Structure 1
Amino acid sequence: MRTYLIDDLTDKDYQTVLKAFDDLGLRGSLEGIYYLPLPEDLLQGEQKAHLGDCGPFFMALEGVESPDQNSLRLELLVRARNKIRCSCVSYATTAQREHMIEYLDQFVEELEVSV
């Protein structure tokens, strides 16, 4: 799996980020998983065509808490909320990847989390 990793987060900073995602209602169905929505204008043609049946589309972020180091792992896979397997589920395009990495970096920066 291709991922973008932010590691070496203090316990306080890690909890700050997760609370902010919780406050935005981005918590997934599993503990420590968050669904970061992908803007519709960045969807590929097939994803746009499948938006009604498969969408909305998102990238999953996993919060990994560990005694050694806490981290955030952003999967660089565009997932569909309503279907697990479909041809519209694919690795992020360059534009999608750049947008979501920048979004996460800016989100963490606005929370004044040191990375």
Structure 2
Amino acid sequence: MRNYLLEDIYEEDLKKITDALKELEFTGGLDGIFYIPVPDSLLQDEQKEHLGECGPYFMALEVLENELKLELLVRARNKLRCSCVCYATPEQRNHMLDYLDNFINDLEVSL
């Protein structure tokens, strides 16, 4: 699995990040898992075609003991297995890395 890992995050900063993710209603099905939506404008052609049946699309962010792990896999909310579920394109990846970095910076968390 390809991941973007942010390590050595203070407990109080991790709580601040988690609270902000909950406020945005990005919570997933499991505790400590958040679904960061991929903008429709960045979807691949097949993902756009499958949007009604498989979407919406997201990347999973896992909050661990003192780190954050963003999976670089674009997942579909309504289907586990489909050809539209695949690793992020460079554009999707860059957008999500920038989004996460800006999100953390906006919370005034320094890493």
- TM-score range (shorter-chain normalised) is over 0.9
For 1:54 and 1:80, how far apart are their aligned partners in 2? 5
Q: For each residue in 1:27-81, what CA deviation from the matched residue of structure 2 results, as whole angstroms up to 9, or x when unmatched?
A: 100010000000000000000000000000000000001xxxx000000000000
Moved over 4 A (4+): none
For 1:105 and 1:8, how far apart are their aligned partners in 2? 15
**Secondary structure class of the residue paired with 1:35:** strand
Q: Runs of 5+ in structure 2 lacking a partner?
A: none
For 1:52 and 1:25, how far apart are their aligned partners in 2? 21
RMSD across aligned positions (CA): 0.3
**More strand per residue: 1 or 2?**
1
Alignment partner, residue 95 of structure 1: 91
What is the percentage of aligned positions where both structures have the same residue? 59
Q: Across the two proteins, how many residue pairs are aligned to each other?
A: 111
**Secondary structure class of the residue paired with 1:28:** coil
Matches within 5 A, 1:36-55: 36-55=36-55
TM normalised by structure 1 equals: 0.96
Matches within 5 A, 1:10-89: 10-65=10-65, 70-89=66-85
